[in-house]
């Protein structure tokens, strides 16, 4: 997804901070966790994230982790065989090709992790569904929306018509090769301009500085908040486009179709 | 004669100039923008820049380099000449590892395709550095082939630099690697097992022990020659007789780090850069396998640390800065002036707090990285084209004015006590990591030592693993909450430097290297107050008998698993029949004082409960306060909130008091001032008159104040900031 030659320039710092604040998960350990190291059926060491190391745990093997969680007031349990991390590292390191792009390297790492899950690394709740989504779901979406070259320009306006956040991305062969923000388009004066004028100005400047955008998205920060806080942001985006909260600029037909069909597809999936 | 490094800066003849630089990537800017960017750097108050000169950027094919022939932005000579014209000194970072958010961190890809110069893990695989946007194999700093390749780069770049060295040119310092060491693959049994590294390990053993007979006696083996010794791949101590074998390996890992630094700086000096000072940086705290004394002693004039952190990382910034303040010739670190969009996101507020936190805790010199936005960097004080970005830019203008007006680099943080970082126990802990090879495996916020354990060892019924860090953390919190500023020196500190402290706290367990035992004993004999415990050392680091304190300490008469001391549960307490009790819990003496010739040893024979977060520890604070009082140390400007820290810096042109809120909640501490004193916020100019002003502090917020006497007079320093 991220090209080795990715260029990241002109990131507007205030916009970056706003978005990061919004997306950044809280630091530190989430919930109470139990981390166990074992060999055979012998427990070597136990750490409870709230109670500390060396907690007494009745261990009968890496099965029934949900029971262990219940007995030890833990929201999650990770159980590691003594050499599992070494095996995982060895498998990843011997499998990753230095010449591969980052996405392929990441997939190799995930495969190595997948091989250890349930063998030397046991986790409760089961992370397999989420991992599968990362391994197959995201690349599948990218493949479906595959373009030889695509420039995406997305702009979020504040309550006064100024820019609250922005993103300019260029994909080549499904890989991001360029990341920027409205700082690339400076100097910009958006005051007193209508939405149409703003869209025209931003797209024109984008074409001038990087190339014509193939996909343009424009919305205010309330719509943006709605989308990023929605459990299914893609569905929320589609809904916002349909009800006019998000203005589409240029848009390739496959993406336009996907946005139209997405709510229906997701609705059907939920029903099933 | 190369430029010298002093505790307050770089020594140019009779003048010691502060070392405060702005970092730039000249090759990521249009050459036409250089002049404007350098002007802005000067206007912000900097007279030095640190520039990264990456091998991979300048090498077009093996041995062929572009220094501006086909690409103006790579015209290093022109950039340096412009620096001279603008009167900006330059510290040149040459690599081979430059980081700089580059693919492969600045190593040219072609060298990483050569298997003979790559590091190997204990499993025999190549080690990958997981650095987006591409994982790449870690080179071996033991490999001759690696240095041969590096020599080709150094030959080329030094030709550009040599004629531009100070005083004829602007280059005053050269830095080889930037935070490279093993590319953070620092676990004890992870790297490096390539043939060259194993050969170096054997050379190290030969240098340490002399001959194979001595090694055999120590290891209980019958090797015919050094070549027969295989490096350990995991910690399986069995009996204590195996310990020397493992301890030597842990020490070799440190040697390997400064061996690489030494070779690289040596190569630079051979190529005409001998007039510059040499610099190396490490990632985060200089604990094993990083060894600041080893590097500054043998490899470089100055060793610093990269301190990229946010407000929430205050504790780590403090611990690192106070370690540097105690250990380094010139406490230097690299601080974030922006952040990598592919890395951890840090806000301007984060970066501002980290800068002040570093200065507050003793850092005297800094490189602000990066000062201008460019590819893969954002949030810097300058945009890519040299436009000022506020409030970041004005922060640095004010910061430099504050540093200049207060002479903070000439001031010294008032710390009369030392809490030693015990290298023996750090090494032992590094052997016992369960999370190898993952570096820093511990989930965020959890101490790494929680993930260390080892099988039972006959000679070591009470292992220092986890217990050492627990004692250290509790003492750290205790002194902090008692309002007593301590420095955190490495236990390898010289005897002379140790004598400069009135109080030394050395968490001790059953083993401690003999040289350190002697040093601590001499310290107490010469007049220092030495706090030892929870156990008296009776063995050296190899677990061989060595008890220098034996005749000075008492044998316990009883042992209690848990003992309540005013509400704090002391663990594994030894009970003594001592004439000078220091701590009595439920009528039992668990700590005592032993007067020495001119000083004293205070032995505290118990272990603390674990404090890891921001817990208030009133009992540990009370013990710390008593220890400090025994050594004649009074808290300076103590706040009434134990979660707020203050440090006082004197000796500059103004007295500076820093305050830090260590907690994630707002605080409004009252700080007790001396008669007639007023605090003036060094940045806002806000005035807080005595005797006990209330200082509002946001979560994890650090503030700097000028301490003014006769508050009615004109506030010249703060008023302009």
Specify the CATH number for the domain of residue A264: 3.30.1050
Give yes or no for residue B593 having a pLDDT over 50: yes
Angle at B201 between CA A86 and CA B427, to 5 degrees: 60
Distance (Å, whole) CA B152 – CA B154: 6
Judged by average pLDDT, the poorest of A246-260, B58-72, B245-259, B574-588 is: A246-260
Give yes or no for residue B580 having a pLDDT over 50: yes
Pairwise CB contact (< 8 Å): B128 & A96: yes
Pairwise CB contact (< 8 Å): B379 & A27: no
Helix (H) or strand (E) holding B305: strand B302-307
On chain B, the residues whose CB falls within 8 A of the CB of A13 are 338, 348, 378-379, 389, 392
On chain A, the residues whose CB falls within 8 A of the CB of B103 are 4-5
Q: Which residues, in sequence order, are CB contacts of B95 under 8 Å at separation 6+?
A: B53, B54, B55, B106, B107, B153, B176, B177, B178
> Binning pLDDT at 50, 70 and 90, where does residue B274 land?
confident
A173 and A216 housed in the same domain: yes
At B564 the pLDDT is: 92
Pairwise CB contact (< 8 Å): B374 & A9: yes
Mean pLDDT of B149-157: 97
Q: Which residues, in sequence order, are CB contacts of B420 under 8 Å at separation 6+?
A: B488, B489, B490, B491, B493, B504, B505, B506, B507
At B720 the pLDDT is: 33
Pairwise CB contact (< 8 Å): B133 & A3: yes
Residue in the block written with tokens 């990591």: B433
A145 in Cβ contact with A183 (< 8 Å):
no
Mean pLDDT of A109-116: 92
Mean pLDDT of B44-71: 97
Mean pLDDT of B365-375: 97
Structural domain total, chain A? 3
At B179 the pLDDT is: 66
B399-450: pLDDT as tens digits: 999 999 999 999 999 999 999 999 999 999 999 999 888 876 666 678 889 9
Angle at A119 between CA A114 and CA A123, to 5 degrees: 70
B673 in Cβ contact with B690 (< 8 Å):
yes
Give yes or no for residue A132 having a pLDDT over 80: no
Confirm or reject contact between B435 and chain A (CB < 8 A): yes
Mutant choice from B429, B446, B700 vs A, greatest count of A C-beta within 10 A: B446
**CB burial of residue B638 (10 Å; 0-12, 13-18, 19+):** buried
Residue A37: which domain range?
33-81
Mutant choice from A17, A20, A21, A79 vs B, greatest count of B C-beta within 10 A: A17
Q: Looking at the domain assignment, is residue A124 inside a domain?
A: yes
B183-209: pLDDT as tens digits: 888 899 999 999 999 999 999 999 999
Option in B109, B125, B434 nearest A37 (CB): B434
Option in B345, B437, B451 nearest A89 (CB): B437
Give yes or no for residue B719 having a pLDDT over 60: no
B671 in Cβ contact with B689 (< 8 Å):
no
Q: Looking at the domain assignment, is residue A28 inside a domain?
A: no
B695 in Cβ contact with B703 (< 8 Å):
yes
Mutant choice from B443, B465, B469, B473 vs A, greatest count of A C-beta within 10 A: B443
User: Mean pLDDT for chain B?
Assistant: 93
Pairwise CB contact (< 8 Å): B437 & A53: no
A13 and A102 housed in the same domain: no
CA neighbor of B143 nearest in space, from B98, B199, B101, B183: B199
Give yes or no for residue A30 having a pLDDT over 80: no
Confirm or reject contact between A89 and chain B (CB < 8 A): yes
Of A63, A81, A99, the last residue of a domain is A81
Judged by average pLDDT, the poorest of A36-45, A124-133, A227-236, B265-274 is: A124-133
Q: Looking at the domain assignment, is residue A236 inside a domain?
A: yes
Q: Looking at the domain assignment, is residue A230 inside a domain?
A: yes
At B705 the pLDDT is: 98
Sign of CA dihedral A226, A228, A234, A235: negative
> Binning pLDDT at 50, 70 and 90, where does residue B698 land?
very high
Of A103, A119, A144, the last residue of a domain is A144
A97 and A154 housed in the same domain: no
Pairwise CB contact (< 8 Å): A29 & B348: no
Mean pLDDT of B81-92: 98
On chain B, the residues whose CB falls within 8 A of the CB of A49 are 443, 446
Distance (Å, whole) CA B356 – CA A132: 44
A154-192: pLDDT as tens digits: 999 999 989 999 999 999 988 899 999 999 999 999 989
A115 and A133 housed in the same domain: yes
Mutant choice from B183, B388, B450, B615 vs A, greatest count of A C-beta within 10 A: B450
B525 in Cβ contact with B594 (< 8 Å):
no
Give yes or no for residue A77 having a pLDDT over 50: yes
Give yes or no for residue B715 having a pLDDT over 50: no
> Binning pLDDT at 50, 70 and 90, where does residue A106 land?
confident
Pairwise CB contact (< 8 Å): B133 & A102: yes
> Binning pLDDT at 50, 70 and 90, where does residue B218 land?
very high
Distance (Å, whole) CA B353 – CA A61: 46
On chain B, the residues whose CB falls within 8 A of the CB of A33 are 443
A198 and A261 housed in the same domain: yes
A11-27: pLDDT as tens digits: 999 999 999 888 766 66
Q: Which residues, in sequence order, are CB contacts of A21 under 8 Å at separation 6+?
A: B347
**B442 compared with B69, residue with greater pLDDT:** B69
Residue in the block written with tokens 């062969």: A173
Torsion, CA B182, CA B183, CA B184, CA B190, rounded to 10: -50
Angle at B190 between CA B188 and CA B194, to 5 degrees: 115
On chain B, the residues whose CB falls within 8 A of the CB of A120 are none
At B659 the pLDDT is: 98
A211: left (phi over 0), alpha (psi -120 to 50) or beta: left
On chain A, the residues whose CB falls within 8 A of the CB of B378 are 8, 11, 13, 16
A242 and A212 housed in the same domain: yes
At A266 the pLDDT is: 61
Pairwise CB contact (< 8 Å): A82 & B312: no
Q: Calculate the CA B225 to chain-centre distance.
A: 38
Option in A6, A85, A98 nearest B437 (CB): A85
A213 in Cβ contact with A234 (< 8 Å):
no
Mean pLDDT of B643-657: 97
B157: left (phi over 0), alpha (psi -120 to 50) or beta: alpha
A56 and A6 housed in the same domain: no
B498-532: pLDDT as tens digits: 999 999 999 999 999 999 999 999 999 999 999 99
A88 and A76 housed in the same domain: no
Residue of A nearest to B386 (CA): A10
Write the CA distances from B282 to A1, A213, B133, integer angstroms.
31, 43, 22
Q: Looking at the domain assignment, is residue A95 inside a domain?
A: yes
A91 and A58 housed in the same domain: no
Confirm or reject contact between B375 and chain A (CB < 8 A): yes
Q: What are residue B271's phi and psi, to 5 degrees?
A: -100, 25
Q: Looking at the domain assignment, is residue A70 inside a domain?
A: yes
A214-229: pLDDT as tens digits: 999 999 999 999 998 8
On chain B, the residues whose CB falls within 8 A of the CB of A28 are 444-445
A162 and A260 housed in the same domain: yes
A132 and A40 housed in the same domain: no
A-B CB pairs within 8 A amount to: 124
At B459 the pLDDT is: 86
> Binning pLDDT at 50, 70 and 90, where does residue B615 land?
confident
At A135 the pLDDT is: 63
Rounded to the nearest angstrom, the minimum Cα separation between B278 and chain A is 32
**CB burial of residue A115 (10 Å; 0-12, 13-18, 19+):** middle
Angle at B290 between CA B287 and CA B293, to 5 degrees: 95
Q: Looking at the domain assignment, is residue A27 inside a domain?
A: no
Give yes or no for residue B143 having a pLDDT over 50: yes
A209 and A154 housed in the same domain: yes
Confirm or reject contact between A11 and chain B (CB < 8 A): yes
Q: Domains for chain B: give ranges and CATH numbers.
A: 4-410 (3.20.20.80), 417-630 (3.40.50.880), 644-719 (2.60.40.1180)
Of A117, A144, A171, the last residue of a domain is A144
B189 in Cβ contact with A82 (< 8 Å):
no
Distance (Å, whole) CA B233 – CA B229: 12
> If DSSP states are collapsed to H, E and C, what string results for chain A?
CEEEEEEECCCCHHHHHHHHHHHCCCCCCCCCEEEEEEECCEEEEEEECCCEECCCCCCCCCCCHHHHHHHCCCCEEEEEECCHHHHHHHHHHHHCCCCCCHHHHHHHHHHHHHHHECCCEEEECCCHHHHHHHHHHHHHHHHHCCCCEEEEEEEEECCCCCEEEEEEEEEECCEEEEEECHHHHCCCCCCCCCHHHHHHHHHHHHHHHCCCCCEEEEEEHHHHHHHHHCCCHHHHHHHHHHCCCEEECCCCHHHHHHHHHHHHHHHHHHHC
A78-99: pLDDT as tens digits: 999 999 999 999 999 999 988 8
Mean pLDDT of B290-316: 89
Give yes or no for residue B713 having a pLDDT over 60: no
At B84 the pLDDT is: 98
């Amino acid at each position: 997804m991220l090209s080795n030659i990715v260029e990241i320039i002109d990131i507007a710092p205030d916009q970056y901070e706003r978005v990061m604040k919004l997306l950044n998960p809280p630091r530190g350990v989430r919930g109470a966790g139990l981390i166990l190291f074992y060999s055979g059926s012998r427990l070597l060491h136990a750490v409870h994230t709230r109670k500390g190391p060396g907690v007494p745990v009745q261990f009968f093997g890496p099965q029934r982790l949900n029971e262990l969680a219940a007995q030890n007031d833990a929201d999650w349990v990770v159980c590691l065989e003594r050499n599992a991390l070494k095996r995982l590292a060895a498998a990843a390191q011997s499998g990753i090709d230095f010449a591969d792009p980052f996405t392929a390297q990441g997939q190799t790492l995930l495969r190595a992790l997948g091989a250890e899950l349930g063998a030397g690394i046991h986790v409760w709740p089961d992370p397999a569904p989420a991992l599968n989504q990362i391994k197959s779901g995201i690349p599948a979406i990218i493949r479906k929306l595959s373009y030889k070259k695509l420039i995406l320009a997305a702009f979020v306006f504040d309550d006064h018509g100024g820019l609250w956040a922005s993103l300019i991305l260029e994909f080549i062969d499904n890989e991001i090769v360029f990341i920027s923000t409205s700082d690339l388009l400076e100097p910009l004066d958006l005051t007193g301009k209508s939405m149409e004028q703003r869209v025209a100005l931003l797209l024109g400047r984008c074409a001038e500085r990087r190339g014509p955008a193939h996909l343009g998205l424009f919305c205010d920060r309330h719509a943006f908040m709605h989308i990023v806080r929605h459990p299914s942001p893609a569905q929320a985006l589609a809904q916002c486009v349909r009800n006019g909260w998000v203005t589409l600029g240029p848009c390739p037909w496959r993406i336009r179709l996907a946005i139209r069909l997405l709510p229906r597809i997701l609705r059907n999936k939920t029903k099933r | 004669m190369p430029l010298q490094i002093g505790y307050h800066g770089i020594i140019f003849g009779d003048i010691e100039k502060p070392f405060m630089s702005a970092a730039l990537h000249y090759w990521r800017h249009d050459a036409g923008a250089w002049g404007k960017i350098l002007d802005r750097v000067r206007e912000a108050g900097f007279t030095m820049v640190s520039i990264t000169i990456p091998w991979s950027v300048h090498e077009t094919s093996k041995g062929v380099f572009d220094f501006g022939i086909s690409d103006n932005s790579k015209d290093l000579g022109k950039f340096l000449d412009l620096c001279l014209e603008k009167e900006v000194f330059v510290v040149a970072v040459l690599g081979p590892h430059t980081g700089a958010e580059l693919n492969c961190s600045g190593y040219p890809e072609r060298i990483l395709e050569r298997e003979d110069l790559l590091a190997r893990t204990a499993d025999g695989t190549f080690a990958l550095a997981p650095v987006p946007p591409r994982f790449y194999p870690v080179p071996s700093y033991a490999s001759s082939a690696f240095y041969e390749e590096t020599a080709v780069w150094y030959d080329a770049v030094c030709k550009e630099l040599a004629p531009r060295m100070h005083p004829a040119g602007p280059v005053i310092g050269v830095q080889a690697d930037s935070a490279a060491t093993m590319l953070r693959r620092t676990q004890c049994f992870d790297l490096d097992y390539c043939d060259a590294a194993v050969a170096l390990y054997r050379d190290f053993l030969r240098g340490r022990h002399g001959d194979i007979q001595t090694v055999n006696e120590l290891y209980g083996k019958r090797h015919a020659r050094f070549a027969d010794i295989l490096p350990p791949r995991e910690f399986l101590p069995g009996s204590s007789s195996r310990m020397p074998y493992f301890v030597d390996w842990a020490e070799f890992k440190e040697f390997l780090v400064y061996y690489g630094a030494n070779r690289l700086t040596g190569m630079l000096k051979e190529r005409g850069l001998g007039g510059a000072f040499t610099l190396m940086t490490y990632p985060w705290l200089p604990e094993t396998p990083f060894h600041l004394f080893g590097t500054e002693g043998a490899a470089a004039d100055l060793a610093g640390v990269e301190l990229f952190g946010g407000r929430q990382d205050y504790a780590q910034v403090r611990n690192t800065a106070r370690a540097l303040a105690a250990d380094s010739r010139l406490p230097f670190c690299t601080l974030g002036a922006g952040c990598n969009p592919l890395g951890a996101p840090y806000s301007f507020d984060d970066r501002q707090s980290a800068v002040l936190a570093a200065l507050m805790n003793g850092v005297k010199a800094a490189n602000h990285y990066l000062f201008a936005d460019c590819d893969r960097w954002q949030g810097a004080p300058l945009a890519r084209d040299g436009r000022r970005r506020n409030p970041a830019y004005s922060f640095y203008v004010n910061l430099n004015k504050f540093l200049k007006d207060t002479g903070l680099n000439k001031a010294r943080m008032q710390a009369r006590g030392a809490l030693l970082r015990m290298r023996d126990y750090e090494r032992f802990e590094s052997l016992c990591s369960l999370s190898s090879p993952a570096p820093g495996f511990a989930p965020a916020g959890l101490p790494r030592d929680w993930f260390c354990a080892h099988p039972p060892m006959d000679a070591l019924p009470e292992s220092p693993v986890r217990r050492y860090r627990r004692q250290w953390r509790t003492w750290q919190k205790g002194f902090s909450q008692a309002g007593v500023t301590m420095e955190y020196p490495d236990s390898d500190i010289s005897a002379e430097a140790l004598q400069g402290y009135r109080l030394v706290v050395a968490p001790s367990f059953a083993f401690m290297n003999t040289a350190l035992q002697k040093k601590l004993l001499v310290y107490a004999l010469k007049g220092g107050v030495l706090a030892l415990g929870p156990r008296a050392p009776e063995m050296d680091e190899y677990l061989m008998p060595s008890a220098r304190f034996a005749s000075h300490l008492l044998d316990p008469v009883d042992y209690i698993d848990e003992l309540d001391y005013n509400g704090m549960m002391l663990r594994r307490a030894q009970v003594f029949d001592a004439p000078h009790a220091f701590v009595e819990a439920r009528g039992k003496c668990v700590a005592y004082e032993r007067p020495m010739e001119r000083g004293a040893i205070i032995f505290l024979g118990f272990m603390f409960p674990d404090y890891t977060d921001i817990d208030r520890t009133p009992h540990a604070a009370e013990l710390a306060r008593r220890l400090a009082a025994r050594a004649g140390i009074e808290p300076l400007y103590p706040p009434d909130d134990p979660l707020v820290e203050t440090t006082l810096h004197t000796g500059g042109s103004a007295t500076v008091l820093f305050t830090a809120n260590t907690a994630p909640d707002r605080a409004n501490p009252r700080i007790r001032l001396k008669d007639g004193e007023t605090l003036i916020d060094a940045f806002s100019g806000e005035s807080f008159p005595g005797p006990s002003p209330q200082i509002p502090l946001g979560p994890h917020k650090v503030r700097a104040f000028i301490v003014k006497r006769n508050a009615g007079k004109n506030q010249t320093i703060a008023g302009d900031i």
